Amino acid sequence: MVELKSDASIEAMREAGRVVARALAATREAAAPGVSLRELDRVARAVLTGAGAGSPFLGYRPAWAPTPFPAVVCTSVNDAIVHGIPDGYRLRDGDLVSVDCGAALDGWTGDAAVSFTVGRGRPEDERLIDAAEKALAAGIAAAVVGNRVGDIAHAVGQVCRRAGYGIPDGMGGHGVGRSMHEDPAVPNEGRAGRGMPLRHGMVLAIEPMLIAGGSDESRTAGDGWTIRSADGTRAAHAEHTIAVTASGPRILTAL
C-alpha cells in the first residue's frame, strides 16, 4: 500500500534528507587515498549522531541477508554496484566509490547515494558517473503528478541505454516514509505510461545503477551483501529521495 504524505510530513522528511546530504558530503570530503572504508563509516556516523538521527541501515536485515548490516553507509568500490560493507580496505588513487546513506529523524527517513572517484579519476569512470547523475535527473524530471511510475523507469533507462551501460537486473528505487523501503517499487527501466499513477504526496527514492561493461548481470559476493558486476567492470550509483507534489518534484536529500 502506498502512503500519501501530507505537506507537513514532507517538510519533516526534508529534515531527515538534509542529514543524509550532510553525511554524504562529509564522507565524500574524507575519501582520499589511504583512508579506509571503516573510517568513512565513522565520518557518516558522526554526522548522524550530531544531528540526533538514527540509521535505517545499521542492523537492517531483509529476508535474503545472511546477517544484519553492520554500518550506517554502504561503500561500494569499483566493480561493486551496491550494498558494500565498510571494512578495512584502504582507498587507492583512481578508485570509483559509491556511498549510500540513510537517516531516520523524528520518525521519518531519507535515503540517497553518490558516486565519485578518489584522487586522479579515469575519464571513463567520470563518464559513467555523469551518466548515472543524468539518469537520476531524468527520472526526477518525470516524477510529476499525472505521470506514472513507468515514466520514471523509462526516463532513467533511456539515459543508461543510450550511453551504452548495463542496468542491473531486479534493482531499482522504492517508496520512502516511516521506513526506508515502502511501496511502490521504482524500476530503472520500463515502459512509459505504465504502472501506478503519480499523486501529490508520494515520496520515492529514485536510484539509477549503471554497469560500465553493458551487461545487466550481477553476482553476490561472499559476504552475502555486496552486489558486484558479473563482468567485473565498474559501476556507479546515484540516488535522491524526492516528493511528488502539485508544483513539481521536490528533492528532499539535497544540501
* 241 touches 252 (CB < 8 A): yes
For position 66, what pLDDT does the model report? Answer: 95
Kind of pairing between the strands at 235-237 and 209-211 = antiparallel
The pair phi, psi for residue 143, each rounded to 5°, is -85, 65
Closest CA to 102 of 81, 140, 73, 82: 73
* 160 touches 131 (CB < 8 A): yes
Q: List the pLDDT tens digit at each of the 255 positions of the chain.
A: 899 999 999 999 999 999 999 999 999 999 999 999 999 999 999 999 999 999 999 999 999 999 999 999 999 999 999 999 999 999 999 999 999 999 999 999 999 999 999 999 999 999 999 999 999 999 999 999 999 999 999 999 999 999 999 999 999 999 999 999 999 999 999 999 999 999 999 999 999 999 999 999 999 999 999 999 999 999 999 999 999 999 999 999 999
Amino acid at 60: Y
Amino acid at 180: M
Kind of pairing between the strands at 250-251 and 240-243 = antiparallel
Q: 218 is written with which cell numbers?
A: 550481477
